[in-house]
Amino acid sequence: MPSLPSDSTGSPPPSVTSSADPTDAALRRARSAPLAWRANAGLFVATVGSVFATFFLTSVWNGDASRTAVVGAAQFTSTLLAILLAHEFGHFVAARRHRVDASLPYFIPLPLLSPFGTMGAVIRMRSIIPTRRALLDIGAAGPLAGLALALPLYAWGAAHSRVMPFDGQGAELGDSLLLRLIDGYVAPPVPAGMALFLSPVANAGWAGLFVTMINLLPVGQLDGGHVAYALFGPRQNRLARWMHHSMLVFFFVSVASFAARDVHAGFGLWRLGRHVGNSIFWLVWFEVLAILGSITSREPARRNSDGLTVRVRVLATLGLVLVASVLHDRSSPVLWTSWFAALAVLLVMEARWGALRDGSHLLDHPATGHAPLRFGRIVIAIVTLAFFALLFMPTPFAL
């Protein structure tokens, strides 16, 4: 994911203004300076170790022999980092092609706390982007380059995965239209009572597709937000607010639909904790995007439209997630009523001062040039956004 310079408006990906001159003296000096790489290389090496250690320890915890865990960790690490490198260098090459000063990718190691051992990577943009064409190319190049590796690697890994008995215990990875299509062609058939246990390569391919889905959300300054803004212009800001609010709606609809099935089957609400845990991803991302919009905004209109601090959002979200994990197997009406009451307080604050307030500009995309895209790039934008629909996973993780 690209990242803006500290003196630019906006957030992780590039912002632009129609009056910018990409050939000014400051840009020429920045482009002629040596490309910094030591910090990037150090973070990349740390991320390799983090991803390897996370997969290895998880495999050992699940009962794999040490030798098997080492081989699997090596396969997972090399596959996932190849996909992430392709994604980030897609942004980097496109930025350089459009004469935008961009850094090498900064990888973010996160051992054990992340199921993949990393939070991905960002590229810092040190100059502005003046046209919607450049915004589209830089925004779309990353996801498309990552998909060019993730799709065939997942297909190969799925074809070499094992079908084994499944007792309903453990985590299940989410499904999407595109994953179902690939599995239907290349994966071995799965009889009743069995499940497809993905190989390390397929696991990494799934992780790459999951990361791509998140990046393609047409919200704010995620890759999908850039592509959508290049396609729709300022109208994208309304779409971003609608998409952001829909994550919250999806959380409640998901919990309610799971609970309704249990009630209809005679189970009551004793598995409510499990359903909240399986749906909470969308609640977390609702707040994560609000946090990103808040900490990266330097436009007064956007900054002043948000009255909630980053600390409040972080503490509230972490508190809700931690308590929900503790209550995962608890069905106490008092405890869950208290949990939803705490959630209601957070949402009331969002409605009064934050992202749910009428007129909030928290996720508005910085303005860019007014020249519309030509037909070829319109097709690229539509195809890129269509991948979000094909990759969309209603329940990315289920326990």
* Per-residue model confidence as pLDDT tens digits over 331-355: 889 999 999 999 999 999 999 999 9
Which structure tokens are listed for 260?
């309704």
39-43, 194-198, 318-322, range with the lowest pLDDT: 194-198
Q: What is the number of other CB atoms lying within 10 angstroms of the CB of residue 391? A: 22
Q: What is the dihedral of CA 172, 176, 177, 179, to 10 degrees?
A: -60
Q: Which of 130, 74, 66, 55 is nearest to 98 (CA)?
A: 130
Roughly how many angstroms between the first and final C-alpha of the chain, as a whole number? 29
Res. 232: pLDDT tops 80: yes
- The CA-based diameter of the chain, rounded to the nearest angstrom, is 71
* Per-residue model confidence as pLDDT tens digits over 20-47: 444 455 455 555 567 888 999 999 999 9
Which structure tokens are listed for 87?
């994604």
pLDDT in the model for residue 14 = 36
Average pLDDT, integer, range 113-124: 90
Average pLDDT, integer, range 104-125: 90
User: Can you give the residue ranges of every domain in the chain?
Assistant: 2-398
Average confidence score pLDDT of the chain: 88
194 within 8 A of 164, measured Cβ to Cβ:
yes
What is the model's pTM?
Answer: 0.88
pLDDT in the model for residue 331 = 85
**What amino acid is encoded at 21 in this protein?**
D
Return the half-sphere exposure (C-beta side, CA atoms, 13 A cut-off) of residue 142: 34
pLDDT in the model for residue 221 = 85
9 within 8 A of 298, measured Cβ to Cβ:
yes
Rg for the chain, CA atoms, rounded: 22
pLDDT in the model for residue 59 = 92
pLDDT in the model for residue 10 = 33
329 within 8 A of 269, measured Cβ to Cβ:
no
pLDDT in the model for residue 192 = 82
Alpha helices in the chain (DSSP H): 25-32, 38-61, 66-97, 132-159, 177-186, 200-215, 223-232, 236-264, 272-296, 300-304, 310-326, 333-353, 375-391
The conformation of residue 267, written as its DSSP 8-state character, comes to -
Residue with the bigger pLDDT between 191 and 45: it is: 45
pLDDT in the model for residue 297 = 63
**Residue 360, CA distances (Å) to 224, 238, 308 in order:** 20, 10, 12
* Per-residue model confidence as pLDDT tens digits over 170-188: 678 999 999 999 999 999 9
CA distance 338 to 276: 14
Q: Which of 54, 6, 5, 9 is nearest to 220 (CA)?
A: 9
